[in-house]
Amino acid sequence: MNVLLNFIIIFLFIIFVLAMKIPKLVKSNIIINKIYLFIGVSLLQIVVLLSNKINQKCKMSTKNIIKEATKIGLLTVIGYSFYVDILFSSQLREKYAKYIDVPNKNMFFVATLISGTAMVYKIIDNILLPNDCTP
């Protein structure tokens, strides 16, 4: 359940940030977008992980929480890189043009790629380490 909730939180955060046009999805701002994305999602994950630990009454290790939040932040940057790859690849751009060329669909497409990348990691992590009190 935590994985799905985490996916939804990241997805909604990305939708909110894109709707506010904080990182403009243009080809010239790729590095800045990645930095904003990493910082924003990492900070969001710290808050989410801390609230999960408090609700579950688990011991908290600040080092582990920051490490996990950094991993999720980096994974969202990888998800954004998938989007950039699709933008620059002519074959992939043609295939996904119906999502990329329409602004609202583009926003959901980007959010799905970004949060989906983090969700895949969390699912694999929970399968390998199924302890509820780990970050």
- Predicted TM-score (pTM) of the model is 0.83
**Please, which pLDDT band fits residue 24 given cuts at 50, 70 and 90?**
low
pLDDT bucket at 25, cuts 50 / 70 / 90: low
The answer to whether residue 31 scores a pLDDT higher than 90 is no
Please answer whether residues 86 and 110 qualify as being in contact, where contact means their C-beta atoms are separated by less than 8 angstroms.
no
Question: Distances from the Cα of 99 to the Cαs of 6, 37, 96, 108, in angstroms?
Answer: 24, 21, 6, 8
Tokens of 72: 């999720």
Give the integer Cα–Cα distance in Å for 96 and 94.
6
Domain locations along the chain: 30-128
Rounded Cα gap, residues 95 and 101, in angstroms = 11
The two tokens of residue 30 are: 């790729």
